[in-house]
Amino acid sequence: MTSDGFDPFAYAHAHRREIVWMSQNTNHLVPPEPATNAIRQALDEHRYEGYPMAAGLPELKSLVLADLGLPTDSGCLVSAGGTEALYMLARALLGPGDEVIASDPSYLIIHKFIELSGARPVPIEIYAPPYRLTADRVQAAIGPKTKMVLLIDPLNPLGSGYPAEEVRAIAEIAKDHHLWLLNDITYRDFSDTHTLAYPYHPEQTLTVWSVSKNCGLAGLRIGGLAGRPEVTKTVGKYNTNDLGVNILAQVAALADLKSKATWFDAVRTTTRANQATIRAAVEATPGTFLPVYPSQANMFAIDISATGIAPERLQETLLRDDGVFVRAGNYLSPKFGGRFVRASFSNPPSDVARFAAAFPKAVDRLRATAVTPRAA
């Protein structure tokens, strides 16, 4: 909700057929057949009449572990999106007085869950090159109360990815200090190369996975957590979804993961072309820039601070006047959120073309009424 009472999500959902949805890193490029055929078959068989296997379909869990290259005897929790697993693990592993090394910007819902468990996120400011955590800065931030390190790789909202040696160094620091390492890999498939933290600190690494973005199944709400069986068992004690995750979501996830190798390259090719389209539009708009290019995920933060335009105002005009839904940065960073909007691009090129045509004009419309540009 903006200060004048405009609710962008209420507006966007009410106009969902007319707008292009570039605000939530959702993926609109996955061929629908595998998931819809699997759902149709489950509907025909009335599978919704019974409860699913509480622990999740065994074949789905095996596929997730195989997809990640984790040991076949790992634990794998299936939850209502990665979000539910994030909530569970915060509750299970953190308590009052504990601190979690995190970043700003970050995916702040995780910080909220940390706070709900009584612990405190300790964000390292990363809105400057290399726009991600470094092992040195993580090491320097560790104190007597540190219990966990949050490594989101690739990072929402900046799109930064972690080089293999940095993942290894951060994981080894966590290991040396007996810290939990929360490795959120929601955007892994979009990156050129990706390194899991697990092999470097298997005892305490929590790998949070999701099929919302890679498989384009955000609306079905399914994801989970992989790790050593004793770790997933400890976290699973806090599972409120005791009777299992929606069966339609599970069969769709299974079908998409099974077929992913046949279509994901095309998703990657389109997202890379879309990145170039957005970059050209940003470069043609004075006062704006992309902190991270290329993005290793499916989103960019677009810095607009030198225009003096508030991100919420740009979000509103793009949505109402151009039918393009991007997200103001304030929900992703307490300190830097006033400097950027976030735009995701796992969309058909026609959506991204609409953004590219609208963005420079929207900035120009608002520039006339903008306040003094903020210092960078």
Ligand X SMILES: Cc1ncc(COP(=O)(O)O)c(C=O)c1O
Distance CA 279, CA 263 (A): 25
Check residue 191 for interaction with ligand X (CB under 6 A): no
50 — phi, psi (to 5°)? -105, 165
Check residue 56 for interaction with ligand X (CB under 6 A): no
Check residue 81 for interaction with ligand X (CB under 6 A): yes
Q: With contacts defined by CB under 6 A, name the span among 38-46, 57-65, 81-89, 162-170 that binds ligand X.
A: 81-89
Nearer Cβ to ligand X, position 210 or 317? 210
- Compute CA 358 distance to the chain's CA centroid, rounded to the nearest angstrom: 25
- Integer distance in angstroms from the first to the last C-alpha of the chain? 26
Angle at 279 between CA 274 and CA 280, to 5 degrees: 100
Contact 240, 47 (CB under 8 A): no
Q: Which of 23, 160, 183, 212 contacts ligand X by CB under 6 A?
A: 212
Nearer Cβ to ligand X, position 160 or 285? 160
Check residue 220 for interaction with ligand X (CB under 6 A): no
Q: State in angstroms the smallest separation of the CB of 244 from ligand X.
A: 16
Q: State in angstroms the smallest separation of the CB of 155 from ligand X.
A: 8
Relative to beta strand 205-210, strand 223-227 is antiparallel
Check residue 38 for interaction with ligand X (CB under 6 A): no
**Residue count at the site for ligand X (CB under 6 A)?**
13
Check residue 156 for interaction with ligand X (CB under 6 A): yes
Q: Which of 82, 121, 159, 311 contacts ligand X by CB under 6 A?
A: 82
Q: Which of 153, 184, 256, 316 contacts ligand X by CB under 6 A?
A: 184
Q: State in angstroms the smallest separation of the CB of 372 from ligand X.
A: 33
Check residue 333 for interaction with ligand X (CB under 6 A): no
Q: Which of 152, 174, 196, 251 contacts ligand X by CB under 6 A?
A: 152
Closest CA to 311 of 121, 157, 108: 157
Nearer Cβ to ligand X, position 249 or 319? 249
Contact 11, 320 (CB under 8 A): yes
Q: With contacts defined by CB under 6 A, name the span among 75-83, 90-98, 256-264, 315-323 that binds ligand X.
A: 75-83
Angle at 263 between CA 262 and CA 266, to 5 degrees: 130
Residue type, 293: Y
Distance CA 203, CA 133 (A): 22
Q: State in angstroms the smallest separation of the CB of 26 from ligand X.
A: 8
Q: Which of 8, 123, 216, 223 contacts ligand X by CB under 6 A?
A: 223
Check residue 121 for interaction with ligand X (CB under 6 A): no
Q: State in angstroms the smallest separation of the CB of 5 from ligand X.
A: 26
Contact 285, 359 (CB under 8 A): yes
Check residue 161 for interaction with ligand X (CB under 6 A): no
Q: State in angstroms the smallest separation of the CB of 220 from ligand X.
A: 9
Check residue 218 for interaction with ligand X (CB under 6 A): yes
Read out DSSP for 215-261?
Answer: SS-GGG--EEEEE-HHHHHHHHTT-S-TT-S-HHHHHHHHHHHHHHH
122 — phi, psi (to 5°)? -115, 90
75 — phi, psi (to 5°)? -80, 150
Closest CA to 252 of 282, 214, 281: 214
Q: Which of 27, 146, 210, 285 contacts ligand X by CB under 6 A?
A: 210
Closest residue to ligand X: CB criterion: 81
Site residues, ligand X (CB under 6 A): 25, 81-83, 107, 152, 156, 184, 186, 210, 212, 218, 223
